Chains A and B, each alone.
Chain A
Amino acid sequence: DSGVTQTPKHLITATGQRVTLRCSPRSGDLSVYWYQQSLDQGLQFLIQYYNGEERAKGNILERFSAQQFPDLHSELNLSSLELGDSALYFCASSEYREGDTEAFFGQGTRLTVV
């Protein structure tokens, strides 16, 4: 158990809909990352938050957004869903530490868009 909790584990929704994925980081970790894993693109970095502020953006679509709340949990919002958004979405967290650090991954949320 990595200590990172993602809910829900599975989500099935229709095209055009909006969903929210939730992530609770490990206790004490200030950084939260979101990754998307799909058959086509593999594992791709979407976005990172640090202590409530956006720090870095990767290949995140404009239809997607995220935020990190004062209690450090994070939500990834996916809107106007398309079939191609079906993927496994991972959240990861890490502590603030110069140099040697690592990201701990949750079990992921599997999103199926039908």
Chain B
Amino acid sequence: AQSVTQPDIHITVSEGASLELRCNYSYGATPYLFWYVQSPGQGLQLLLKYFSGDTLVQGIKGFEAEFKRSQSSFNLRKPSVHWSDAAEYFCAVGSLYSGAGSYQLTFGKGTKLSVIP
């Protein structure tokens, strides 16, 4: 069964500083990987996804993530954090099943990001 580990429950950074959120996954095949963001009282918004190809993927809001198969990791990065980035971030792995063109997402526990002005 697939699983996702986000080792950091809570991270605090200063505005303008760089950010890296860690994600490790366990999955038997080539993983489909996602990062979602959840602002307080809001739903989940997709930041970026990896299906195949270039292992460095660009997302919305200036985020990027790098897939490293050898380390089973998919860390999220941003070079300069803005106060509006304060939210909870979820890494997920998607397991495809045939016939439906769709998949089931397994989420990590999330990392809460606080930004100091």
Interface residues of A, Cβ cutoff 8 Å to B: 2, 4, 31, 33, 35, 42-45, 48, 50, 55-56, 58, 90, 92, 94-108
Within the complex, the shortest CB–CB distance from A23 to chain B, in Å, comes to 12
Given contacts A31-B101, A42-B108, A42-B109, 8 further A-B contacts (CB under 8 A): A43-B92, A44-B107, A48-B102, A48-B104, A50-B100, A95-B101, A102-B46, A105-B45
Interface residues of B, Cβ cutoff 8 Å to A: 34, 36, 42-46, 49, 51-52, 90, 92, 97, 99-110
Majority secondary structure, B binding face: strand
- Please determine whether B44 and A90 come into contact, CB atoms closer than 8 angstroms: yes
Within the complex, the shortest CB–CB distance from B6 to chain A, in Å, comes to 10
- Please determine whether A43 and B90 come into contact, CB atoms closer than 8 angstroms: yes
Tell me, in angstroms, the Cα distance from A60 to B34 when the chains sit together: 23
Within the complex, the shortest CB–CB distance from A46 to chain B, in Å, comes to 10
Within the complex, the shortest CB–CB distance from B10 to chain A, in Å, comes to 14
- Please determine whether B49 and A94 come into contact, CB atoms closer than 8 angstroms: no
Contact of B107 among A2, A42, A96, A106 (CB under 8 A): A42
| Nearest B residue to A44, CB-CB | B107
Within the complex, the shortest CB–CB distance from B65 to chain A, in Å, comes to 14
A48 contacts which chain B residues (CB < 8 A)? 100, 102, 104
Tell me, in angstroms, the Cα distance from A42 to B36 when the chains sit together: 14
- Please determine whether B101 and A2 come into contact, CB atoms closer than 8 angstroms: no
- Please determine whether A107 and B43 come into contact, CB atoms closer than 8 angstroms: yes
A35 contacts which chain B residues (CB < 8 A)? 105
Tell me, in angstroms, the Cα distance from A9 to B34 when the chains sit together: 26
- Please determine whether B107 and A43 come into contact, CB atoms closer than 8 angstroms: yes
- Please determine whether B44 and A105 come into contact, CB atoms closer than 8 angstroms: yes
* 21 A-B contacts (beta carbon < 8 Å): A4-B43, A31-B100, A33-B104, A43-B110, A45-B104, A48-B102, A48-B104, A55-B100, A55-B102, A90-B43, A95-B101, A97-B101, A99-B52, A100-B49, A102-B46, A103-B103, A104-B46, A105-B43, A105-B45, A106-B43, A107-B42
